Amino acid sequence: MRVDKSLFDLDKIPTDISGQGGKENIFAAFFCGWKRINAPLHDWEYPDLNKTIRIELKKQSGIQWFDSGKYYNLTLEDRNIILLFVMHKKGSIDKIYATTIGEFIDWLTQNHAKNGWTEEVMKVASEFRLSYPTLQFKAQVNIRKMVQQAPNLFDIVYSK
């Protein structure tokens, strides 16, 4: 398991996450004991024995857009950040999946190059970000479809 389910309060999953935006703040009770962080690659941190667990929260009903420049030349620490995909239907959470950024990016570069998931695109996007910090290169991923295509890439943290 990429992340221990006991680190979350599954009884405090928000009941309505409809609307735009990341919704990180309404997940505070779910992330009981975690520290809210505003970092480029993660939203939450949890001190766990000899390491800090880092999580990036992604909320969507299916398709998620990613700024591909953020994922170029990741450190080992960055590759181990947990992506927590909170899946919903009309604002009601039905699944929560977990994977690591490293596994996620590796799979996309091997299977979705035609959608812009290549080292070349990520490198160019990263280089442009240096000169134009607010510029983003967006590449899409249909998370529900990806889970069907690569189920071993994801752990199920919650299922309604």
For the chain, what are the domain ranges?
5-159
Cα angle: 55, vertex 40, 113; to 5 degrees: 85
Architecture in CATH for domain 5-159: 3-Layer(aba) Sandwich (3.40)
* Amino acid in position 131: S
Whether 20 shows a pLDDT value over 70: the answer reads no
Report helix, strand and coil shares of the chain as percent, to nearest 5: 35, 30, 35
- Rounding to the nearest 10 degrees, give the CA dihedral for residues 156, 1, 106, 74: 120
User: Which pLDDT score, from 0 to 100, does residue 22 have?
Assistant: 61
Q: How confident is the model at residue 48 (pLDDT cuts 50, 70, 90)?
A: confident
Is the overall model pTM greater than 0.95, yes or no?
no
71-109 pLDDT, tens per residue?
Answer: 999 999 999 999 999 999 988 999 999 999 999 999 999
At residue 149, the pLDDT reads: 96
Over the stretch 129-143, which tens digit does the pLDDT of each residue have? 999 999 998 999 999
Supply the pLDDT for residue 61.
83
